[in-house]
Amino acid sequence: MSAAVYPKVTLPSHVQTILITGAGGFVGQQLLISLSESFPNINFIITDVRAPSIPASIDQFKQRIASLGADLSNKDEVKNLFEGRQIDAIYAVHGIMSGGSEANFDLGYQVNVDSHTALLAATRAHHIQARQGSPLPLYVYVSGLAVYGGEKCIPEAEIEPETTPLFPETSYGTAKAICELYVFDYTRKGFIDGRIIRLPTVAIRSGAPSSAASSFISGLIREPLQGQRSECPVADSIDDPNLDNFPLYLSRVSTVIHNFIHVLSLPASAFPSYSRTVNFPGITVTTRDIIEALAVVGGSEALNLIDFKKDPKVLSIMAFWPGSFNQQAALSLGFIRDDPKTGFLDAVRDFQAELKRGQ
Amino acid sequence: MSAAVYPKVTLPSHVQTILITGAGGFVGQQLLISLSESFPNINFIITDVRAPSIPASIDQFKQRIASLGADLSNKDEVKNLFEGRQIDAIYAVHGIMSGGSEANFDLGYQVNVDSHTALLAATRAHHIQARQGSPLPLYVYVSGLAVYGGEKCIPEAEIEPETTPLFPETSYGTAKAICELYVFDYTRKGFIDGRIIRLPTVAIRSGAPSSAASSFISGLIREPLQGQRSECPVADSIDDPNLDNFPLYLSRVSTVIHNFIHVLSLPASAFPSYSRTVNFPGITVTTRDIIEALAVVGGSEALNLIDFKKDPKVLSIMAFWPGSFNQQAALSLGFIRDDPKTGFLDAVRDFQAELKRGQ
C-alpha cells in the first residue's frame, strides 16, 4: 500500500504567490500541504476566520506561508490580504456549508456570495495596481454539485452537464451558482483568469462530522477506524436494500487535490469562450460499497461499530442525488478520475495511512 | 383596425396595491396604463430614479397612483417605498440596459443586481411586518433572453429551455441570471411568491432609440412612420440576403403587457417545485418582414426613409441570437402568443394608432 501517484503538474512560471481562503478547513489544509510540498519556490497566503494553523507535516515550509485571520465579509479585511503583496493565483475555498446557509439565510449569502464578490473586486483592483504587463490573476472558484436540482436529479440519472440547466434547491447551491456567474463575467471582461470547479463528495474527510447530509459517507469510515461508533442513516440493517439503492458520487481526497492543482496549469484556451466551469470526475459507489471497504480495512471489529438507523431527512435529500455525471469534458482536459472499482477502497486506505502517521 | 383583444385576467382578490419599479421606462409605463385601466380598485406605487410621470391617457386615475423618485441602490430609499403602506404585488422592472451595463461594470451590477437584492430583502421584511396571515407578496422579476449564450445560440436554433444551460455572455445577461437565482431562492424559502419572466424583444417601442443592439427593430418602424430617417444595420441594400438570414424573436407590446398581468394571476401551484421561470412566447420575423410591414402601413414614402448600412458590430451580436424558443411551457400556462403571420404587422398598426392618438 502506497500513496496515489498522479501526473506531475507544471504551473505557469509567473505563479510565485498563491492565496488560499478557507484554508482552515479540510480541503484548504490538504491543498496547502500538497502545493507546498510540490512547489518549493511558491509562497502562500492562507486565511480563514481565524488564522489557519500550518499542518505539522509541512512545518519545515512555514517560512513560505503567511497565515492571516480575516473576516472576508468585511471589504477592508479582504483588501488587506493583498496589501503590499503580489498575488498571482487565488483559491477561493471559503464558505458556509449547506446546513449552515440553509439555517441562516442572510449569513449564508453574506459569506457565500458577498464575501466572494468582495474578493473578486479586490483581485481586480490588485491586478490594476500590479506592474504593467502582469499576467491576469488565476482565480479558482470552488463550486459543487449542489448547483443542480429539479426533476432530472434522481439516483438513476447520469447528468449531462451540456444539456442540464441549473436548478439549485438550497441556498448553498444557489450561492454557488451565483458566484459561478460572477467569476465567469469577471473572466470574460478580462479582470481575472477564472476557473470554476464543481466538486463531488470528497472522501474520506478527517476531522469532525459536518452538518451536510453527505457527512455520513466519510463518517462510516472515519469513526469506526478510530474505534468510535458511527450512524448509518441510509438503512435499518445490513440487509436493507437501501444500501444498494442510493448511488453516491465521490472522489478520493488526493485525487480532488491533484485536480485542484491541475486546473491551475491549464491554459485559458482549454476552455470554450462561454464557460470556465468543469465538473470534477467522480466514481459512483453505494453505501454497501462503503461498508464492505470498511470491513476490508478495519475488519468485523470496525463493522460492529456501525449503528444502522434510517434517517428520513437524509434519505429524502438523497432521493435527489444523481448517481452519476458525464465526465467526458473533464477527462479530456486531463483531470483524473479514481478507479471505479478500487477508488473507494483506496480512499479508505489513504485515511488509514493518515491515521497511522498521526499516531 | 382595432386594438388587440386578450382574455380577461382576474387577479387574486388580496392584490390592492402594486409597486412598479422602473416605471418611467417604456415597459413600466405601458404596464401602468394597462393595469390602471383594467383594475379600477387597485392602487399603484410607481418609482424610478426620477418620479415617473403619469401618462396623459390615465390622468383620470392619478388619485390611485403615487409616483416616487428613488435611488434603489440606496437601501434606505428602497425601504422607504414600503413605509406606511401595505404592498401586495411588485413588478421589478428597473435596470440598466445591456449597452450601459457593458460600458460600466460596477454601476451595472450595482443597479442590475444589488438594487434587486435590496428590493427582495425589503419585500421580505415588509411581509414579516404585515398583519398575520397576509398572503405572500407577489413578486414579478423581469428577465430576458440575454441569460442565454454559448454555442447553441445561433440563428438556426430553436432553444429548448428544458435542456439549455444558461451561459450569459454580457454583464446584463449575467445580472439577469443572478437575480433569477435570488428570486427563486426567496420563493423557495417562503419569503415571497416569485415569478420570473423572460421577455423577447418588445416591438414597437416608442420613445428614443436605446443602446441595445436590437434597438433597430423598433427603430425601422418608429422613425419612418414619423417622417424621420432610420438606419438598417443588417443590410447594405434591399436586395441584401441578410434581410432574410437573421431571424428576430419578438412580441407585440400589448401581448407582452397582457402576459405581464397574466403571470400575476397564476397560482403558485402552476409552477414546478424547482423553478418559477417562464419564457414569454414570441414570434420569429426577419428584417425583411419588418420592412414589408413598414411598406404596408407607411407606403413607399416611409420605406424611402430607411438608410441601409451594415453595422458589423450589430451583425456580430445578431450572429448569436437564436431564431426561436420552444414556447410549449408558456402556452400551456395560458400565456398569449402573437399570430406568427400577422403579429408584426399588428404591432406596427398598434404603433400607428398610438401616433394618431398622440396627435
> Which residue in the set A169, A178, A188 is minimally distant from B274, CB to CB?
A169
Domain boundaries, chain B: 17-199+252-280+328-332, 215-248+284-323+343-358
Give the pLDDT confidence score for residue B1 in this predicted structure: 43
Q: What are phi and psi of B258, to 5 degrees?
A: -55, -45
Of B151, B177, B184, the CB nearest to A274: B151
Cβ atoms < 10 Å from Cβ of B1? 8
Instruction: Convert the pLDDT of each residue in A291-326 to its tens digit.
Output: 999 999 999 999 999 999 999 989 988 888 999 999
Cβ distance of A181 and B169 shorter than 8 Å: no
* CA pair distance A35, A39, nearest whole angstrom: 6
Which stretches within B9-49 are classed as H helix? Answer: 26-38
- How far is residue B169's CA from residue A188's CA, in Å, rounded to a whole number? 8
Instruction: Report pLDDT for A1.
Output: 44
pLDDT of residue B210: 82
* Contact between B168 and A181 using a beta-carbon 8 Å cutoff: yes
Residue-by-residue DSSP string for A41-52: T-EEEEEESSPP
| Mutation for B interface: A75, A185, A188, most B CBs within 10 A | A185
Q: Please judge whether A185 and B166 are an interchain contact, meaning their C-beta atoms are less than 8 angstroms apart.
A: no
Write down the residue that cell numbers 437501501 correspond to: A242
Give the containing element (helix H, strand E) for A144: strand A138-144
pLDDT in the model for residue B131: 82
Looking at CA atoms only, how far is residue A174 from chain B in angstroms? Answer: 6
Q: How far is CA A99 from the centre of its chain?
A: 16
The residues on B that touch A, with CB distances below 8 Å, are 105, 149-151, 161-169, 171, 174, 177-178, 181-182, 184-185, 188-189, 272-275
Nearest chain B residue to A159 by CA distance is B163
Q: Can you give the pLDDT at residue B359?
A: 58
Q: Which of A274, A19, A163, A27 shows the shortest CA–CA distance to B167?
A: A274
Please tell me the distance in Å from A177's CA to the nearest CA on chain B.
Answer: 8
Q: Name the residue of chain A whose CA is nearest to B149's CA.
A: A274
Q: What is the DSSP letter of B280?
A: P
Please list the alpha-helical segments (H only) found in B66-114.
75-82, 98-103, 105-109
Task: State the Cα–Cα distance between residues B319 and B213, nearest whole angstrom.
Answer: 12
A178·B182 Cβ contact <8 A? yes
Give A266-294 pLDDT, tens digit per residue: 999 999 999 999 999 999 999 999 999 99
Contacts of B43 by beta carbon, 8 Å cutoff, 6+ apart: B16, B17, B18, B64, B65, B66
The residue in chain A having the minimum alpha-carbon distance to the alpha carbon of residue B162 is A165
- Cβ–Cβ of B181/A168 closer than 8 Å? yes
Catalytic residues of A: 172
Q: Tell me, what's the pLDDT at A268?
A: 98
Mark yes or no for CB contact B165/A164 under 8 Å. Answer: yes
Which residues of B are less than 8 Å from A178 in CB distance?
Answer: 178, 181-182
CATH C-level class of A17-199+252-280? alpha beta
Chain A residues with beta carbon closer than 8 angstroms to that of B189: 105, 171
Per-residue pLDDT tens digits of chain B, which is 359 residues long: 456 889 999 999 999 999 999 999 999 999 999 999 999 999 999 999 999 999 999 999 999 999 999 999 999 999 999 999 999 999 999 999 888 899 999 999 999 999 999 999 999 999 999 888 899 999 999 999 999 999 989 999 999 999 999 999 999 999 999 999 999 999 999 999 999 999 999 999 998 888 788 999 999 999 999 999 999 999 999 999 999 999 999 999 999 999 999 999 999 999 999 999 999 999 999 999 999 999 999 999 999 999 999 999 899 888 889 999 999 999 999 999 999 999 999 999 999 999 998 85
pLDDT at A345: 97
What is d(CA A343, CA A350) in angstroms, rounded to the nearest whole number?
A: 10
3-state secondary structure of A249: strand
For B178, which of A105, A163, A181 is closest by C-beta distance?
A: A181
HSE, side-chain direction, 13 A CA sphere, residue B31: 31
Closest B-chain CA to A151: B274
| B9 and B262 Cβ atoms separated by less than 8 Å | yes
Nearest to B216 by CA among B248, B191, B180, B261: B248
String of b and e for B4-42 (b: at least 16 CB within 10 Å)? bebeebebeeebebbbbbbbbbbbbbbbbbbbbeebeeb
Distance CA B108, CA B122 (A): 21
Contact B165 A161 (CB under 8 A): yes
| Residue of B179, B178, B186 whose CA lies nearest to B126 | B186
Q: Nearest C-alpha of chain A: how many angstroms from B18?
A: 26
CB contact under 8 A, B166 and A165: yes
The DSSP bridge pattern shows strands A324-325 and A158-159 to be: parallel
Mutate to test the interface with A, among B102, B164, B174, B187 (most CBs of A within 10 A): B174
Which chain A residue lies closest to B174 (C-alpha atoms)?
Answer: A181
CATH 3.40.50.720 applies to domain B17-199+252-280+328-332: yes
Best residue in B274, B275, B276, B277 for a mutation probing chain A (most A CBs within 10 Å): B274
Q: Do B167 and A105 touch (CB under 8 A)?
A: no
Whether the bond into B54 is cis, omega within 30 of 0 = no
**Residue A323 Cα distances to A153, A158, B234, B271, angstroms:** 9, 6, 48, 26
Q: Write the Ramachandran bin of A95: left for phi over 0, alpha for psi from -120 to 50, otherwise beta.
A: left
Q: Report pLDDT digits (tens) over B97-112.
A: 888 899 999 999 999 9
Tell me the chain B residues in contact with residue A177 when contact means C-beta distances shorter than 8 Å. Answer: 181
Give the A-side interface with B, CB within 8 Å.
105, 149-151, 161-169, 171, 174, 177-178, 181-182, 184-185, 188-189, 272-275
For the segment B277-298, what is each residue's pLDDT rounded down to a tens digit?
999 999 999 999 999 999 999 9
Task: Say if residues A320 and A285 touch (Cβ distance below 8 Å).
Answer: no
CA distance A90 to chain B (A): 21
For domain B215-248+284-323+343-358, give the CATH number: 3.90.25
Please name the residue of chain A whose CA is at the shortest distance from the CA of residue B114: A114
Q: Do A274 and B174 touch (CB under 8 A)?
A: no
Q: What is the Cα–Cα distance from B260 to B35, expressed in whole angstroms? A: 10
- Give the Cα separation of B165 and A167 in Å (integer): 10
Q: What mean pLDDT do residues A137-154 have? A: 95
Residue A169 neighbours by CB distance under 10 Å: 21
Residues of A in contact with B174 (CB under 8 A): 181-182, 184-185
Q: Smallest Cα–Cα separation from A182: which of B118, B69, B179?
A: B179
Chain A residue numbers with beta carbons less than 8 Å from the beta carbon of B274 are 149-151, 167, 169
Q: What is the pLDDT of residues A237-253, one digit of tens each?
A: 999 999 999 999 999 99
User: Can you read off the three cell numbers belonging to residue A35?
Assistant: 502545493
Query: Which residue among A151, A165, A274 places its CB closest to the CB of B149?
Result: A274
Look up residue A53 and give its three cell numbers. 494553523
- The tens digit of pLDDT for each residue in A7-18 reads 999 999 999 999
Q: Residue B278 phi/psi, 5° resolution?
A: -135, 130
Which residues share a beta bridge with A142? A197
Grade residue A359 by pLDDT with cuts at 50, 70 and 90: low
Please report the number of interchain residue pairs, chain A to chain B, with beta-carbon separation below 8 angstroms. 63
Q: Which one is the CATH code of A215-248+284-327+343-358: 3.30.70, 3.30.310, 3.90.25, 1.10.150?
A: 3.90.25
Q: Taking CB atoms and an 8 Å limit, are A182 and B177 in contact across chains?
A: no
